[in-house]
Amino acid sequence: MNSNILVIGGTGKTGSRVIKQLQNQGIEPRIGSRNASPSFDWNHKDTWVKSLQNIDRIYLSYYPDLAVPGAKEAIESLTYLAKELGVKKIVLLSGKGEIEAEACEKIIADSGVDYTIVRASWFNQNWSESFFLDPILSGEVALPMSDVLIPFVDAEDIAEVAATVLLDDSYNSKIIEVTGPELITFKDIVRTISKTSNRNLNFYDITLEQYVAGMREMQLPKDMIWLIEYLFSHVLTNPQNQKISHDIEKVLGRKAKTFLEYAEETAKTGIWNAIEMSTEPHR
C-alpha cells in the first residue's frame, strides 16, 4: 500500500535500508532523492514542496553530513516547511560526538513537530560501500589514529531501529543512540577483513597530516577533504563517540550486529575480492 512516509536520502546507506524495512511491512514510502519522482534535491528548495505534500512522517538523513557548512540552515528550512505542510513526525539520523549535529537535533526538537533522534556511531558499511573500500581493494590501508576505540555500528541495525521508531510513537521526544556491541580499532578491522576475505592486507599507521596530504595529492574535492579531516580530528576522538550503547537491543529486542558478523556476511558477496584497484587515497 502507498503511505504518507517520506524517506529523505532514500538511496543512501541507511535510507535505502529504511525503505526495505518499511516495504517488508507492506508500506511503500516516498523516496526522497534527486532521481526520484517527485525529485528531492537539498540544493534546490523548489523540489521540497512537492516531495513533502501529503506526507505525515519523515525519515531524514542529510548528505554528506550534518557537520558540513550549510547543513544547519538546510535542516532549519526543511523543518519549518515540513511543519507548515502538516508533517507530524521527523526521525533524524544524527551522529554521535558531533556538536554541529546536536545543533540540528535541537532545531527539530524545538520545532513543535513530534520527533525521534537516532544518533549513530561510524558505520560498518564505510568499509564496503564508502571511503574505506578503495584502500581495502588496493591491499594497502594507511590510516591515522589506528588505536582509537570505536563502536562501529551496522547500517542494517540503524535502519531497523529507524523504521521502528518512525512508526512507533512511544519513542517520540527520545534520543536513541545506536552503536555496535564492542569497541574496535582500525587495526582490528583490517585484521578481521583480511581473515574473512582471505587476503593479505597491509596496514600502516600514519599521521592525520599525512592522511590529509595524501587526499590533496589525489585532488579530492576540498569539501570532502575538509569533512574527512573533521571526522578524524573532532568526531573520532570525542569521548562521547567511544561509548557503547545498548539502545539497539532495547528497541529491537536483540543484540546489535558485531563487526565480525558484518565482515563474514560481506566477504561472501565478493566485494573485497574485486579486481578494481584504488583510485582514491588510502583513507
Architecture per CATH, 2-120+154-178: 3-Layer(aba) Sandwich (3.40)
Higher-scoring residue by pLDDT: 59, 1:
59
Classified as helix, coil or strand, 80 is helix
The C-alpha atoms of residue 16 and residue 155 are separated, in whole angstroms, by 10
- Show me where the domains of the chain are located: 2-120+154-178
pLDDT in tens, 181-202: 999 999 999 999 999 999 999 9
Looking only at the bridges linking them, the beta strands covering 202-205 and 89-95 are unpaired
| Residues near 257 by beta carbon (within 8 Å), at least 6 away in sequence | 124, 154, 156, 157, 180, 181
Confidence at residue 88, expressed as pLDDT on a 0 to 100 scale? 97
Confidence at residue 281, expressed as pLDDT on a 0 to 100 scale? 39
Sheet holding 174-178, edge to edge: 28-32, 2-8, 57-60, 89-95, 114-120, 174-178
Portion of the chain with pLDDT greater than 90, in percent: 89
pLDDT in tens, 138-162: 999 999 999 999 999 999 999 999 9
Confidence at residue 167, expressed as pLDDT on a 0 to 100 scale? 97
pLDDT in tens, 217-246: 989 899 999 999 999 999 998 888 889 999
Confidence at residue 282, expressed as pLDDT on a 0 to 100 scale? 36
Report CA-CA distances (Å) from 239 to 33, 97, 216, 236: 34, 7, 28, 8
Average pLDDT estimate for 40-58: 97
The C-alpha atoms of residue 281 and residue 283 are separated, in whole angstroms, by 6
pLDDT for residue 11 is more than 80: yes
Long-range contacts of 101-110 (CB under 8 A, 24+ apart): 101/65, 101/66, 101/67, 103/72, 104/62, 104/66, 104/71, 104/72, 104/75, 105/175, 107/72, 107/75, 107/76, 107/79, 108/75, 108/79, 109/173
Q: Which three cell numbers stand for residue 159?
A: 535502519
What is the CB-side half-sphere exposure of residue 270 using CA atoms within 13 A? Answer: 3
Lowest mean pLDDT among 107-111, 162-166, 246-250, 271-275: 271-275
Confidence at residue 1, expressed as pLDDT on a 0 to 100 scale? 52
Classified as helix, coil or strand, 29 is strand
First to last CA, the chain: 43
DSSP annotation of 258:
P
Average pLDDT estimate for 78-107: 96
Rg, C-alpha atoms of the chain: 19
Confidence at residue 90, expressed as pLDDT on a 0 to 100 scale? 98
Confidence at residue 275, expressed as pLDDT on a 0 to 100 scale? 58
Confidence at residue 128, expressed as pLDDT on a 0 to 100 scale? 97
Confidence at residue 241, expressed as pLDDT on a 0 to 100 scale? 85
Beta bridge partners of 94: 119
Average pLDDT estimate for 57-73: 95
pLDDT for residue 103 is more than 50: yes
pLDDT for residue 276 is more than 60: no
Mean pLDDT of the chain: 94
Confidence at residue 131, expressed as pLDDT on a 0 to 100 scale? 87
